[in-house]
Amino acid sequence: MYLAELKFKVIADTSFSRAEAAIRAFSEALIFNGNILGRELPTAWQQDRFSSRLVIPAPDALQRAHLSSRAQQAEQQLMAAGLGYPQLQVLGMDIMSQHSSNSAAEALVLFTTFNDNCSPLRNLADLAPVPLYQLKPAKGGDHESLIRWQIQFQALDEVQQQQSRVLKKTAENSLQQYHSALNQQGRQLAGNLSRGNGLPVYYALYSGSSKNCAAEATKPCPGCGDNWRRAQPLLAIFDFKCDNCRLLSNIAWECQTP
Ligand SMILES: [Zn+2]
């Protein structure tokens, strides 16, 4: 990922609230198409311009060809609010975040965790994040439905990682039960992305705890009931893989011997 600065020059009469609303609409459109990462866009007003700091998946992430039609319309609205075309300056590689995939993916996996600041679609060859704007959305004109799924997944994961959980089992159940609303939504998104982009998209089913650690290593695929245990874990994480159901998972973390 790269750290960048986006400058919006004031070129005509405007007010703070009009400029702020236009920048907010533009940045939201970029977030929901994966052009910029994270949920916040710190922005300073510097007399004749506004400057925002952002993390982008690749140096060319904001090129016109990568923008959704919603982002292009929001860009036009910047002019109507008295601002010039946004000018991007890439400051350098972000040393705090993962690097985007460089190779063309033959298969993807929908996988995210609470502390990710990257695309939830990873190259199945190396687990490197694939910028969302490179893919056809699961539904609609951009990736908003996928980003909103990721927001909920990460929020629940964050809760269940805490030592003093405020939701004892609810968060974890949502994450690890095959039929939870979260996982149904995720599998549906993965299926739509697979059909739209013409490549397999696996779904990573989280597994944290188990009522029966003795049976955990031989548990069947929750989709079809087949044996899905791999001889060797895939990418050092996934002990289970079902090609029929396009599902990946792990031996529950609490059952793994250190
Ligand atoms: Zn299966």
User: Is residue 207 predicted with pLDDT exceeding 80?
Assistant: yes
Let me know: does 78 contact 8? Beta carbons within 8 Å. yes
Q: In what order do the strands lie in the sheet with 43-46?
A: 43-46, 49-56, 2-9, 87-93
pLDDT on residue 96: 84
User: Which residues lie near ion ligand 1 (Cβ < 5 Å)?
Assistant: 221, 223-224, 242, 244-245
Q: How confident is the model at residue 176, as a pLDDT?
A: 96
**Residue 148 structure tokens:** 């909103």
Residue 165 confidence (pLDDT): 84
Chain-wide mean pLDDT for the chain? 95
DSSP 100: P
Q: How does residue 186 score in pLDDT terms, banded at 50, 70 and 90?
A: very high
In Å, what is the CA distance from 206 to each residue of 2, 13, 186, 218, 250? 29, 52, 12, 16, 7
Whole-number Å distance, alpha carbon 124 to ligand 1 midpoint, is 18
The tally of CA atoms less than 13 A away on the side-chain side of residue 144 is 11
Residue 18 pLDDT > 80, yes or no?
Answer: yes
- Residue 154's pLDDT is 97
Please tell me the predicted confidence (pLDDT) of residue 148.
Answer: 97
pLDDT computed for residue 166 by the predictor = 85
Q: How confident is the model at residue 98 (pLDDT cuts 50, 70, 90)?
A: confident
- How remote is the CA of residue 242 from the centroid of ligand 1, in Å? 5
From-to residues of CATH 3.30.70.100 in the chain: 2-93
Cβ atoms 29, 71 nearer than 8 A = yes
Residues contacting residue 69 through CB under 8 Å, at least 6 positions apart: 141
> Cβ–Cβ contacts within 10 Å for residue 148, how many?
13
| Per-residue confidence band for 182, with pLDDT thresholds at 50, 70 and 90 | very high
| pLDDT score for 223 | 97
Q: Using CA atoms, how far apart are residues 224 and 105, in angstroms rounded to an integer?
A: 26
Task: Kindly report the pTM of this predicted structure.
Answer: 0.94
Distances (CA, A) of 45 to 10, 37, 50, 55, 190: 10, 21, 5, 19, 40
Residues 6 or more apart from 239 whose CB is under 8 A from it?
Answer: 217, 229, 230, 233, 249, 250, 251
The pLDDT tens digits of the residues spanning 46-94 come to: 989 999 999 999 999 999 999 999 999 999 999 999 999 999 999 999 9
Q: Ligand 1 center to residue 248 CA distance, Å?
A: 9
Task: Find the 78 Cα to ligand 1 centroid distance in Å.
Answer: 49
Q: Is residue 168 predicted with pLDDT exceeding 80? A: no
For domain 2-93, give the fold: Alpha-Beta Plaits (3.30.70)
